[in-house]
Amino acid sequence: MMQNFEIFTKNEIIQARRQLKNWFISNQRPLPWRNSPHPYSTWLCEIIMQQTRIDQGTRYWHSFLDQWPDFKSLAAAESEEIMKAWQGLGYYSRARNLHKAAKIVANDWGNELPKTAQEWQQLPGVGPYTAAAIASICYGDPVAAVDGNALRVISRWGGIQEPIDKPAGRKPIEQLAQDFLEPADSGMHNQAIMELGALVCTPKAPDCENCPLEGNCKSRVAASGQTPLVPIKAGKTKVLKVAVTFHVIVHRNQVLMTERPSPGIWGGLWEFPSRWIETKSEDSPKNQTPPLTCQTDLRDMGQVGEAFSHILSHRKLEVRFHLWQSKNKFTEENHNWFSWEECENLPIPRAIDKKWGELENSITLLRFS
């Protein structure tokens, strides 16, 4: 196995561990999950914080702990309750896997929790990084937790210029991260690396002057405001432009909704019948009709408000809402009629929630017109 002592000597690594630890003790943020870390709250934190800002994620973390303080209570919750509580965080497969994992721990494992990162990866939604974070922080398992922050810190520190999104770059970074790990206090070390990436070794204009690793960092910039070339990525995923029209179909005091299939975008959430059309220009398809299989008498009430943009991971949505009045309460496969009050208790995508108040006003006016 390649040894990263080709990059740093053993003494340099030992000294860097000490400098990192001292920096972390003095500079770490007072995040609530760092106080007496417990496997359940740490696992919950790691799942929620994926692709999520700290301030936003902290609110959700507290909310989940208040409603479901342990694996058993979370496992007993209804799926729709969890999806509703997750609403606004995005990447909804995380919420579905959260529920599945809680059921495995509570029902299959009898709340007997694993102690190693390898064992934690048996749970849905727990990959190598999440497993290493939980096992190192809660049980001292000496495994490096390599998230986006760690990739950036380690690749810059070692001057590894192979693309981090390819095995040729990822493997030496993971090897150096493991060699750098402080085996006697792996949990603190992993948190220190992540904190360094969040506060100092930032994606743009890192604060090299105040970095505990600046003495032998291979990517240190000479002047404030500069950004190192490392880390390097081979290429970015193309962002697709998609025109989305939600068709809000109202019959008296009820509206038609459908649940999106579990795999895919917004899986398990409820929406109005919609059409998704990939576009190659700024002009979106107009005069769309609702995607219904049955023939029904609908009155076109026009578009609700202005179109707006909504960004997903690899899609830029141009979102519109179109209002329709139905004379009949017709039957459509995989669709249900709900009162507006019932709809408010359903888990819905953020793109719909943005327009909820305006839609409510439009439907109220329609009802009394």
Which of these three, 216, 231, 264, is where a domain ends? Answer: 216
Which of these three, 216, 248, 281, is where a domain ends? Answer: 216
Q: What is the pLDDT of residues 147-163, one digit of tens each?
A: 999 999 999 999 998 99
Q: How many CB atoms lie within 10 A of CB 311?
A: 11
- The per-residue pLDDT for 56 is 94
Q: Are 170 and 246 members of one domain?
A: no
Active-site choice (6, 46, 182, 282): 46
Q: What is the DSSP letter of 309?
A: E
Is residue 172 one of the residues assigned to a domain? yes
Q: Are 259 and 353 members of one domain?
A: yes
| Torsion angles phi and psi, residue 333, rounded to 5 | -60, 135
119 catalytically annotated:
no
Is residue 228 one of the residues assigned to a domain? no
Q: Are 40 and 84 members of one domain?
A: yes
Is residue 233 one of the residues assigned to a domain? no
| CATH number of 346's domain | 3.90.79.10
- The per-residue pLDDT for 281 is 60
Q: Are 212 and 280 members of one domain?
A: no
- The per-residue pLDDT for 125 is 95
Query: Which helix (H) or strand (E) element contains residue 318?
Result: strand 315-326
* 171 pLDDT higher than 70: yes
| DSSP bridge partners of 251 | 254
Q: Are 183 and 329 members of one domain?
A: no
- The per-residue pLDDT for 282 is 57
* 4 pLDDT higher than 50: no
Is residue 225 one of the residues assigned to a domain? no
Question: Across residues 117-142, what is the average pLDDT?
Answer: 97
pLDDT above 90 coverage of the chain, percent: 76
Q: How many CB atoms lie within 10 A of CB 174?
A: 17
Whole-angstrom Cα distance, residue 124 to residue 94? Answer: 9
Q: Are 140 and 287 members of one domain?
A: no
Whole-angstrom Cα distance, residue 303 to residue 281? Answer: 21
* 246 pLDDT higher than 70: yes
- The per-residue pLDDT for 286 is 64
Q: Are 160 and 249 members of one domain?
A: no
- Domain that includes residue 128, residue range: 4-216
| CATH number of 138's domain | 1.10.340.30
In which residue are the tokens 């305006």 written? Answer: 358
Alpha carbon separation from 319 to 29, 93, 255, 271, 277 (Å, rounded): 38, 22, 19, 13, 11
Rounded to the nearest integer, the mean pLDDT of the chain is 91
* pTM (2 d.p.): 0.81
Is residue 60 a contact partner of residue 89, using CB atoms and an 8 Å limit? yes
Q: Are 158 and 39 members of one domain?
A: yes
- The per-residue pLDDT for 297 is 87
Q: Rounded to 10 degrees, what is the CA torsion of 165, 169, 171, 177?
A: -100
Whole-angstrom Cα distance, residue 19 to residue 216? Answer: 12
Q: Are 287 and 161 members of one domain?
A: no
Is residue 352 one of the residues assigned to a domain? yes
Is residue 164 one of the residues assigned to a domain? yes
Q: Which pair of tokens denotes residue 27?
A: 């500079």
- The per-residue pLDDT for 313 is 75
* 350 pLDDT higher than 60: yes
Q: How many CB atoms lie within 10 A of CB 274?
A: 21
Is residue 227 one of the residues assigned to a domain? no
Q: Are 192 and 249 members of one domain?
A: no
Q: What is the pLDDT of residues 35-77, one digit of tens each?
A: 889 999 999 999 999 988 999 999 999 999 999 999 999 999 9
SS3 301: strand
Whole-angstrom Cα distance, residue 279 to residue 312? Answer: 15
Q: Are 304 and 205 members of one domain?
A: no
**DSSP letters of 232-282?**
--S-PPPPEEEEEEEEEEEETTEEEEEEPPSSSTTTT-EE--EEEEEESSS
Q: Are 139 and 265 members of one domain?
A: no
Is residue 232 one of the residues assigned to a domain? no
- Beta-carbon contacts of residue 359 (< 8 Å; ≥ 6 apart): 248, 304, 321
Highest mean pLDDT of the ranges 7-11, 162-166, 191-195:
191-195
- The per-residue pLDDT for 285 is 64
Number of folded domains that form the chain: 2
Which of these three, 216, 249, 274, is where a domain ends? Answer: 216
